[in-house]
Amino acid sequence: MKYFSTRNKNLNFSFKDVFLRGLAPDGGLFIPQKLKIYNSSELKELSDLKYTDLATEIISNFCASDIDKKKLKTLIEKAYKGFDSKDVVTIKKIGNINLLELYHGPTLAFKDIAMQVIGNIYNEFNSENKKIINIIVATSGDTGSAAISALSGKPNINVFVLHPHNKISNIQRKIMTTIGSRNVYNIAIKGSFDDCQKIVKDMFNENEFREKINMSGVNSINWARIICQIVYYFYAAFKFNNKKINFAVPTGNFGDVYAGYIAKKMGLGIDKLIVATNENDILKRVIDTGEYKPDQAKPSFSPSMDIQVSSNFERLLFNIAGEDDKRVFLLMNELSAKGFFKLSREEIGIIKKDFCAEKINNKDTLSIMEEVEKKLNFILDPHTATAVGAAKKINNLSSTVVLGTAHPYKFLETVKMATGKDVQPPIQLSKIEDKEEKYDILENDILKIKNYILEKII
């Protein structure tokens, strides 16, 4: 399978290029030139597979030219060995909520599902090429910990993680800063997640720096993240006997819900993809009105969704514009020149065929957590709560699968506030409180961060 850029279809890349570069050289996002589309008998066959075999089948469509299927299967099996759910993910019925728990990996958020596989793919690509790879990641809390867990101690790799100082939960920070690994560097940036993400994107666009440090990235703009996330949409839909269902997805950078959209394009029977946002509702605004206008990110109870520049949305633009790279180029130029763009009525209509969006504010997030605990004796994390709220708002819980994106322990202060309950540390994190934290605090200044990285690696 070959890839091109959302801003230029004349460029041509292999999966390995796409994996190692993260961002296309013209600033666009990588996207496959063609998707595998399953017919109903193929879907039937897939529905009998266990999770790791299903993952092998689906992911190999996207990378078979660079990783053979047998090898891929072993990488995937190894990636999910440490998960505390036998089938990697767990589907639960809680009252009339169908919850797909995606947080059984080592750092208790859905990001582990892609990141653990990605860590093993790095090993694979790196074994041929001995040059040290420096991975630079921006995180709103969970990507960083998942990346560190997947990459810590790996040979020929350094990981630099940028998180917004004081804007992530204590547990999120501790998971990252207590790892005590020689190849992991944590940097708290005095700014927002959007600032962190911008620094990483700007570094990618500086050819000289990128090549000098042999830079790579694992942010959700990396296509490899998306392909690992497509799998659980198939897995969950199959459990509902292919009845057309909705998925409600706590959304920030639009990676997870975009994976659902790709699953639908590949032939899976999905009705609506429900985008749940918190107070940072840029995606709700663009889906309802067509205006994409990033605001200042506001801190909320669901920090991993405190994002205003929702990077993967560019991929959807490419799809709904009929794969018109020039249209995407124009919109993205407008965004950087004027600070916003506006979609046509026709384009909004195309988006609305597959998506709807709901905003769940801080107050509602807490009351959903409280209500679910009181009535159903189940503790939701604040991100998952936004998706429960969104599915409820459109009055459709029974035919909707809610993606549970994080374990409540990661947000125990918010859980306590909403429900009055304490959350016991899951086995993965039982010793975290006793470990020493290590991180540096830097200004929101790309030059300072580049110098920091250069000092550490030379």
Ligand X SMILES: *Cc1c(COP(=O)(O)O)cnc(C)c1O
- Catalytic center residues: 111
The residue among 126 and 139 lying less far from ligand X, judged by its C-beta, is 139
Does position 233 interact with ligand X (CB under 6 A)? The reply is no
Q: Measured from the CB atom, is 126 or 311 closer to ligand X?
A: 311
Comparison of 66 and 195: residue with beta carbon closer to ligand X = 195
Count of residues touching ligand X (by CB under 6 A): 16
- Closest contact distance (angstroms) between CB of 382 and ligand X is 8
Binding part of the chain for ligand X, among 80-88, 248-256, 372-380, 442-450 by CB under 6 A, reads 248-256
CB of 143 to ligand X, least distance (A): 6
Task: Choose the binding region for ligand X from 9-17, 163-171, 233-241, 244-252 (rule: CB under 6 A).
Answer: 244-252
Cα separation, 126 vs 449, in Å, equals: 25
Residue 383 interacts with ligand X (CB under 6 A)? yes
Q: Across the strands, what pairs with 274?
A: 248, 356
261 is a site residue for ligand X (CB under 6 A): no
Interface pattern 269-308 for ligand X (x via CB under 6 A):
-----------------------------------xx---
Residue 254 binds to ligand X (criterion: CB under 6 A): yes
In whole angstroms, what is the distance from residue 348 CA to residue 395 CA? 22
Asked whether position 405 contacts ligand X by CB under 6 A, the answer is: yes
Least separation in angstroms between residue 252's CB and ligand X is 4
To ligand X, the closest distance from the beta carbon of 256 in angstroms equals 4
| Contact call for residue 101 and ligand X (CB under 6 A) | no
* SS3 state of residue 287: helix
Residue from 406, 412, 418, 453 that binds ligand X (CB under 6 A)?
Answer: 406
What x-and-dash track marks residues 336-375 binding ligand X by CB under 6 A?
Answer: ----------------------------------------
Is 101 in contact with 381 (CB distance < 8 Å)? Answer: no
For ligand X, the binding residues in 419-458 under the rule CB under 6 A are none
> Which residue in the set 105, 250, 389, 408 belongs to the binding site for ligand X (CB under 6 A)?
250
Q: In terms of C-beta density within 10 A (0-12 exposed, 13-18 middle, 19 or more buried), how is residue 378 classed?
A: middle
Q: Given candidates 169, 183, 222, 253, which one binds ligand X under the rule CB under 6 A?
A: 253
Q: Which of 432, 405, 437 is nearest to 105 (CA)?
A: 405
x/- string (CB under 6 A) for ligand X, residues 108-147?
-x-x------------------------------x-----
Q: Can you tell me the distance from the alpha carbon of 140 to that of 161, in angstroms, rounded to the nearest whole number?
A: 10
What's the min distance (Å) between Cβ of 145 and ligand X?
9
- 49 or 423: whose CB is closer to ligand X? 423
231 by Cβ neighbours in 10 Å (0-12 / 13-18 / 19+) ranks as buried
**Residues 10-39 vs ligand X: string with x where CB under 6 A?**
------------------------------
Residue 23 DSSP one-character state: S
Stretch that binds ligand X, among 2-10, 27-35, 245-253, 424-432 (CB under 6 A): 245-253
Q: How far is the CB of 226 from ligand X (least distance, A)?
A: 9
Q: Which of 62, 63, 45 is nearest to 54 (CA)?
A: 45
Query: What own/partner pairs with CB < 8 Å and gap ≥ 24 does 2-6 have?
Result: 2/32, 2/33, 3/30, 3/31, 3/32, 3/33, 3/223, 4/30, 4/31, 4/33, 4/325, 5/29, 5/30, 5/31, 5/325, 6/30, 6/31, 6/314, 6/315, 6/317, 6/318, 6/325, 6/328
Strands annotated E in 200-255 = 215-216, 245-250
Q: Which stretch binds ligand X (CB under 6 A): 4-12, 252-260, 261-269, 348-356?
A: 252-260
Nearer to ligand X by Cβ, of 126 and 219: the residue is: 219
- Are 359 and 372 contacting, i.e. CB atoms less than 8 angstroms apart? no
| Beta carbons of 221 and 22 less than 8 angstroms apart | yes
Residue 258's nearest CA partner among 29, 27, 446, 99 is: 29
List the beta bridge partners of residue 98: 93, 401
Residue 311 Cβ vs ligand X, minimum distance, rounded to whole Å: 8
| Strands (E) located in 201-340 | 215-216, 245-250, 270-277, 291-292
| Nearest in space to 344 (alpha carbons), one of 358, 361, 330 | 330
* Separation of first and last alpha carbons in the chain: 37
Residues 6+ apart with CB under 8 A from 63: 1, 15, 19, 72, 224, 227
Between residues 29 and 453, which has the closer beta carbon with respect to ligand X?
Answer: 29
Binding positions for ligand X, rule: CB under 6 A: 109, 111, 142, 220, 250-256, 304-305, 383, 405-406
